[in-house]
Chain A
Amino acid sequence: MLTGTATYVDDIKMPNMLYAAMVRSPHAAANIRSVDISKAAAHPGVMAVYTGVDIKDVGAIVCGVELPGMRKPHHTVIATDRVYLVGHIVAVVVAKDRYVAADAADLVEVDYDVLDAVGGPEQALAEGAPAVHPQWADNIAFKFEQKGGDTDAAFASADVICKQRMISQRMVANPMETRGCVASWHAADRALTIYTSTQIPHLARTILAGMLGLDENRLRLIAPEVGGGFGCKLNVYPEEAIVSFAAMKLGVPVKWIETRRENFLSTIQGRGHVDYWEIAAKRDGTIVGVKVKIIQDLGAYFQLLTPAIPTLSVLMMPGLYNARNIHAEIVGVFTNCVPTDAVRGAGRPEATYGIERMVDVLAAELKMDPAEIRFKNFVAADQFPFATATGLNYDSGDYANTFTKALDTIGYKKLREEQATARKQGRLVGIGISTYGEICAMGPSPAVAAGGWESATVKVEPSGKVTILTGISPHGQGEETTFAQIAGDELGVPIDDVLVLHGDTSIVQYGIGTFGSRGTAVGGTAVYLALQDIKEKVIRWGSMLLDSNDVRFEGGMCIDNASGKSVSIQTIAAAAYRAMKIPTHSEPGLVATRFWEPGNFTYPFGAHIIHSEIDPKTGQVEIKRYVMVDDIGNILNPMIVDGQLHGGASWGLGQALWEHAIYDDAGQLVTGEFMDYAMARARMMPWIESSHTCTPSPVNPLGVKGVGEAGTIGSTPAMVNSVVDALAPLGVTHVDMPLTPEKLWRIISASQPEAN
């Protein structure tokens, strides 16, 4: 990437390739009276213009989730009679270059009858709100309830009950590379090749084949280099089907590259919760029950996992605590906004934010130290595996140990003393704690919409070089390195001899993809198991070549235990393909494929502590220290792990302090470009003091848990808790995100006018 030599979708150029531009609705809700394509079609250089009518045989967008009683919108890839969100596609123009296509797209005349729109989830539920989908007047897509234990009794027995409404605002996923695809049709073979920027090549192939009415095995889907996904590319979008349709109609390759503006408008976003939390406890701080009512902004239609995301919040709601009685209700509501779906953390950040805030609210109510109340309620190290009230089974952990390390690193006791002194001087100093848990390594197949296993093939080539085909689809996480390390360790070959291939459905056996912090824990395990099969074969061939039945495999050599004579894996590979002689019960070649089904999720955890100070004159937050101690099981590559954690933290801080996808009442995205959407920048990031503890996971033989989302989940509550703690002397118990300077300045000036 740094040298510009990697191939992303936009680098792909084919002979006679045409370019598509989408015509998108500027309105969040409108009836379409007519679409006039005549001017666009007549524009020089335009090859075709298609509307919803032309493309009606292409299947609707696929959602992989079913919840009881759920209402599922039928979302065609191009709108026909009504648009439901800004950016909804109403036509596509295909032209000889991108510029002509964009010019002609402006010439498509759509006559809209503009309707009232719904710009947010609580607006959707308000009395008299317009209906996003006319057939469902209440805007409710589904209601979902989950109970564990006896919450009524727990709340009745409690000494204190704290309640708090909290918002987890919508966030834009913002991968560096926007979406894009190139489709080319090979009429003679009735075969379609699609290059697309995706996290799930095989699933996308299955879904697209269904939408397009093609045989799955005649659709080759390639994810070339993918410049980040963060969940937003864990989806099949209308454009991929539209571009394929156009390529099949026109018989030449067609390319579409999403502009940044389109990405803001029409790629899924994350979060979008309004949550009502209640926590019940004994006077000594023992938590007896937790309730939450989640109002989830689903957007106008469902992408692949849209309705499932808030159910993940429910699973995570007890956090790291021994809360035996839980009650969660979800109300999924339609809005005239782009759908929400899995974005880094996907449901767990919202829940972790909620429970970690509530624990602080409770501590403040009971006048307890927020560290002490956490120790009091942690699941203890000897309780694992631990069955939660939400039905999970936490695999391993020692929460108190990790938290203690974080407290020691930041010097908690001394810091509290310094804070007391600073408060006497009127300074707004905060210490924020988050002890978070995570659900990773998605996951057991029964719990994951499309299956949660993963596959790997390991091929030792005749020269002894090793090729790994993995079913996951790394797009910046670095598994090409990690998997090569695993192979290097297992087979005793140099890492440079290992090539990891992925993302091409014609090369790689079926796989699930990269999301849910599963890459190494699930995909890496499949690789590890295939390597064990290879080692077995190597020993069989080595025994034959050494004429011994007592050999060991070590450092890339098969060694005869009796004579000490040895033969290298490279020599063995050559013999296995030459096959002059074959070991009994064996076959030529040195290849193994394994599909691995995990028995459980994995549950990383950690403690993040942020020391901050607010400038009372401006409301600006300064992060003085950020200590994170994360336990993600065994660590295979420390540099990659820290990169994931730091990147995750920048997300979480972004949510806490700056980022917000703001929709107005007309359903227009107000923060629809980087000039207004304040994504975290390098210059805004604090120095992060990062370290680890290690409780290996028993779920997989590598003992790894997953790290892609942990930093995101752990950081947000630590930041907000720190700011609320800083404002505590002013009587503040909660502030909604993002914690913008003006918001804090208003709170400060309302409570102490003399400071200004």
Chain B
Amino acid sequence: MIKAENIIKSFEGRTILNNISTEFGTGQTNLIIGRSGSGKTVLLKSLVGLHEVDSGAIYYDDICFSTLDFRTRKAIRKDVGMIFQGGALLDASTVVENVKLPLDLFTEQSEEEKLERVHYCLKRVNLEHAHHLYPSELSGGMVKRAAIARAIVMNPRYLFCDEPNSGLDPQTSIVIDNLIYDITKEYNITTIINTHDMNSVMEIGEKIVFIHEGNKWWEGTKDDIFHTENRELDDFVFASAMAKRAKIAR
């Protein structure tokens, strides 16, 4: 479980996150949705501690993460996996080296055990044939998938995904959504996903938090989302033609 309490974050006097409180459950896929520029990435990065919040508290299960020092945070980070919006693979390393890095640094496993784990993770994201390619030689979707493999290689307890399927074709998007959903259930992970893709919302949105201009505008489940009176959320949801048709059909 990850809990945010009244977090406020501003850059150079401009408030980006305005008093956000919410809770993300364990073993479920939590979605943060909102328009481009609404503050999703800033919220996600504040939750993992890449941005220091101005005020408010962040809890990882019972631990108050936001007051921890650098060293204790590092210990928690071993349980955290994150997929960045741009992939953020290390350019100078191959796919296998990228995925293996956390194992090299933090486990005592033998080389064979590590490689076995790496191959297993790459297989889960359908990247068996790209082991020795460099990030510059991968397509956008392959970068995303390699990033997912890297994020799950250490069996994280908390998984953060910043638009894991933006820029991917619909088929691959669904594969990735389902993959994240499956591992969330399998390992009982607290998963938080940023997205503005309504397909993902309908596929895997167990809990949904809608951010509008830095405020938490709405939260609920994918079943509630069609029955809301909330104007901005409605606009967001029904901007997609498919969802519009779904509503008319109801």
Q: Do A and B bind each other?
A: no
A residues neighboring B (CB under 8 Å): none
